[in-house]
Structure 1
Amino acid sequence: MDKELGDQNHHFSEHDLDAIANKISDLGKWREIFSQQGLQFKDTVVKKYPDSRKVEDESKDGAGTPQSRSITSRSHFTTSSFPYCVPKAFVVSSNLDGLPITLETAVALRKILFGTAFQVFSYEWKKSHFKFRDAYSDLAYALEAERGGIRSIQMAVQAHILKYLLFTRNSELESQNINCLLGVNHKGQECALAAALSDILWTAGEGARSFVCLVTTDCYFAPTIDYKMDSYTERLQLFQFTDREKLQNFIAEHIRCFTGEGSHAVILFIYSLLLSRTLERLYTDMDNTTSHLLQLSLGNFICTQALINLMLTGRASPNVFNGDIQYDNQGVLLKEPKHGVLARSDVGYLYWNRHELEHERLPQVGSMLKTPKLPIWLCNINDTFSVLFNTNRLLLSDWRMEHLFDLYFYSGQPSQTKTVTLTIDTHSHHWEDGMHEEEGDPEKRFPSVEMTIRTKWEGAVIDWNGTVPFF
């Protein structure tokens, strides 16, 4: 038989080999097209095993166990790595005694996120997780931020990480030095992330009950024509907590489920957030202007204001003004009230968009978001998210401290290598003289971050302290 195979191989012509090579090339092109659409090939190359019976015996141990999966993947298949492939799934054991997700819950999550159970998260969302900049560095406190809707979620979590590092772990201190953020070690990063995630979830659950979702080895419901499978939502276990400390400890124990590649961490966090708030409350929070929490923009899903407010305030109100509006601009009673922000939260929100300003559509952020309990703001600047913060807890509670103070700025951009210090002077107004001397939009002559700050401190003079303005 070996001789026959040898003869067959001998008869392969150069034309045959070229045809095979072209097919392989075409496969690579289709792989890239599928991957860009959020799909992926199962690229496996069979390796010869020294004893085929051993593979068969190992597969009988149960592919659901981490041990058998790791043995099989090492011995029988080698997964090829391609630039557009989602990292290998990071899962936990199904024996953690969580509540298996039901088809009804999965459908409900999809509908409140996308408006339909047939839409799934894209490749960018599936691969996203929470990754810090290098430990012990000047930006050791900072998360690496991605683009689109993922970035807004990561930077909202970043704001709560700052809350923990500056004001929670040393709650007895009224003011700290920026140096307390420098050189955070790896363990400190993990503790800060666990605290931030649990803080957001606990607030969404109104301090009574919160959930954490983890992807496990088992699938808990069968395919159906009413729901599009995605290979991870169907394998969720839901863990319920009525004690905040236990919630934070659980997340800390499973922190790799939020920091590891292939963990679907950002998606898990969003699922946990929605279930903590409860679907019933979410629909009550939103008004008729918002039907679902993610919207498609330029081929990617971005967060609605309702989802951003949910991460900041614990309530999915779709507007940034204070309170609820019962009447329109002409004083006519609305059929349904428009829901705004009802109370001050620990973390605030500032907004600036030069394109909306040109059309006079810039929404007016209310004082509830502009003046949070702590001097930390999530900033939406020209649809790109960043954070501003101060290290003095009393900055917003003593008007005398708002005459001259520093704000620290982290843009989330990979090019930023250190925290930018901006000095804010609220008593000097000479920048306005320059505005009147030259006609045109001040946005064209002042960096967007400065205009964002002036939505809170009108007329403030801002010194970049030697840093070349870049945002």
Structure 2
Amino acid sequence: MCVCVPQRLVDVGKVEEQEEHPPPCRTLPNLCPIPLNLVVSPDLGGTPVTPQLTESLRKILLGGTFHVFNYEWRKSFFQFREPDSEVSYALKTDSGGAQAIQMVIQARIIKHLLFLRQSASDGQTLHSLTVGQKEQNGALATVLADSLWLAGQESEATVTLVTQEYSITPHLDYKLDNFTERLQLFTFNAKEDVEKFILDHIQCFTEEGSHGVILFLYSLICSRTVNRLKEDLDSTTSHLLYLRVGNFVCRQALLNLLLTGKASPNVFNGTRSLGEDGHPLEHPLQGLLSRGDVGYLHWSREQMEGGRLPQVGSMLKTPRYPVWICCINSSFSVLFGLKRSLLSDWRMEHRFHLFYFSGQSCQGTTTQLTVDTHPHHWEAPVRRSEENRSLEMTIRTKWDGAAIDWTGYRGVNP
């Protein structure tokens, strides 16, 4: 089987041109085909995708029907580290645009294992994150189902899987990707049914060649519905992914959809009707209206130097559980605490532990940090690596002026 993929870009300056005028695709044999054991029977009871939906999915995600997911996206799926190991809770992540989605799911897995299992209680230990393969699959199914259920306004959710048969015949204004055209939609009105269905077909999200991340992304869009998504967005955002150096990466609206169930394009609280100059905006800007289970912190050296660091609102900085997605210099990682009382008892915020997981394959243990929000001014600064300084700056966007002790860091040259 042959599939068409867009030519990868090597010149950053050509990104905008690529988005408006995609170049001719080149055909590569056997490029990430879906194995037969990962497709479902058309008799399973799903609804075949329609031409209108395939076009809508492409437009709301990629910005047009001529764009297709590239190789990096198509090969991405949800794969855990070694079961029963110290980082058995952790997903293996990709270096491309799919990393953001994998890391949000990673944060939700940590939240589930620490706080929502039957054995969970305030004051867990890292041992709570050590799980076997069965628990890994169960946690992933639960988290994927929770995300879809939240996007569906907690009333219904849709799971998309792939069949061997094509449901539509593309026209001249549509680029075939040999994947979207074979979708089957399964809609449920009870969250436990969504979770059971995903668990029964967990291999469609966790095995090589499954296109598992894209499948989940399509499921998320179908659960939210394209019409609701258009209502969520404002004049600054028309689709959820954008091209950067030849690869599609997530806009903030997609991250917020994963975090809160609504694709708000901005990180501030509420709706802004006035611009920076104090004059009314022609179209109000949509921010966060509700707090999510998992939070979000952002820091970028480039934006900091340019004075344009976005002001993340309390809806994202203070989630229901002490787990945060960190966007640091456009790379994603997870920061979390073991005590939920960290978010409800101000006395807990004097001196506390946080744990950090970068998602990088070289990290074989969970990094422990001690955060002191009342540091002494005479304490001498300590030299840090560039990566660790960036993490410290990210932590200070929530706990201003905090000192970070890397004593628990199991590595070299913090």
Residue of structure 1 aligned with 2:368, choices 421, 427, 444? 421
1:286 corresponds to:
233
Please tell me whether the aligned partners of residues 354 and 443 of structure 1 are also in contact (alpha carbons under 8 angstroms).
no
1:226 paired residue number = 173
Distance 2:54 2:387 in 1: 49
* Counterparts in 2 of 1:292 and 1:458: CA distance versus 1, 3 Å: same
CA distance in 2, matches of 1:431, 1:199: 47
Unaligned runs of 5+ in 1: 1-30, 44-84
| AA of the residue aligned to 1:148 | G
**Cα distance in 2, alignment partners of residues 411 and 444 from structure 1:** 14
Q: CA deviation at 1:86?
A: 1.4
How far did 1:470 drift?
7.6
Number of the residue aligned with 2:32: 86
Change in Cα spacing, 1:36 to 1:296, as seen in structure 2 (3 Å) is: closer
- Contact kept, 8 Å, 1:160 with 1:199, in 2: the verdict is no
User: 2:77·2:213 contact (CA, 8 Å) conserved in 1?
Assistant: yes
Aligned with residue 167 of structure 1, among 95, 99, 115: 115
User: For residue 20 of structure 2, what is the aligned residue in structure 1?
Assistant: none
Task: Quote the offset at 1:447 in angstroms.
Answer: 1.2
CA deviations on 1:411-447 (whole Å, 9 max, x unpaired) are 0011100000111111114388759xx9xxx996961
Give the structure 2 partner of residue 110 of structure 1: 58
**Displacement after TM superposition at 1:226 (Å):** 2.2
In the alignment, the residues of structure 1 paired with residue 413 and residue 196 of structure 2 have an alpha-carbon distance, to the nearest angstrom, of 39
Note the C-alpha offset of 1:467: 3.4
Q: Could you say which residue in structure 2 is the equivalent of 1:460?
A: 402
Q: TM-score, normalised by structure 1?
A: 0.79
Q: Tell me: higher relative CO, structure 1 or 2? Use CA pairs within 8 A at least 6 residues apart.
A: 2
SS in 2 for 1:41: strand
Higher mean Cα deviation, 350-359 or 422-431?
422-431
- Aligned equivalent of 1:343: 290
- What amino acid maps onto 1:319 in structure 2? N
Distance in 2, matches of 1:146 and 1:172, equals: 30
Q: In structure 1, what is the equivalent of residue 13 of structure 2?
A: none
User: Given the superposition, is the C-alpha separation of residues 444 and 395 from structure 1 closer, same or farther in structure 2, using an over 3 Å criterion?
Assistant: same
Q: TM-score with structure 2 length normalisation?
A: 0.90
Matched, 1:154 2:141: no
Q: Which has the higher helix share?
A: 1
Residue 391 (structure 1) shift:
1.4
> 1:179 and 1:265 mapped to 2: Cα distance?
28
Query: By how many angstroms is 1:174 displaced?
Result: 2.2
Determine which of 427, 437, 447 is the counterpart of 2:389.
447
- Contact 2:355 / 2:368 at 8 angstroms: preserved in 1? yes
Gap change, CA 1:253 and 1:379, over 3 Å in 2: same
- In structure 2, relative to structure 1, the CA distance for the partners of 1:356 and 1:34 (3 Å cut) is closer
Contact 2:385 2:413 in 1 (8 A): no
The SS at the match of 2:297 is strand
**Residue type of the partner of 1:463?**
D
- Aligned mate of 1:312, from 259, 280, 286: 259
- Measure, in 2, the Cα distance between the counterparts of 1:236 and 1:39: 24
Select the structure of larger CA radius of gyration. Answer: 1
User: What is the RMSD of the two structures over their aligned residues, measured on CA atoms?
Assistant: 2.3
Q: CA shift at 1:190, angstroms?
A: 0.3
Alpha-carbon distance, 1:323 to partner: 0.6
1:403 equivalenced with 2:354 (yes/no): no
Measured against aligned partners, the alpha-carbon deviations of 1:258-295 in whole angstroms (never above 9, x if no partner) come to 00111111111110001111111101111000011100
Q: Which amino acid aligns with 1:457?
A: W
- Answer yes or no: is the 8 Å Cα contact 2:73–2:96 preserved in 1: no
Cα offset for 1:194? Answer: 0.4
How far residue 229 of structure 1 moved from its aligned partner, in angstroms, is 1.1
Partner Cα separation in structure 1 for residue 373 and residue 244 of structure 2:
37
1:41 aligns with 2:16: no
CA distance in 2, matches of 1:145, 1:157: 11
Please point out which of 185, 189, 202 is paired with 2:136: 189
Which letter does structure 2 place at the counterpart of 1:214?
Answer: L
Percent of aligned pairs with the same amino acid: 52
Q: Deviations over 1:141-190 (max 9, x none)?
A: 000111131100000010111111111113762221111112x1000100
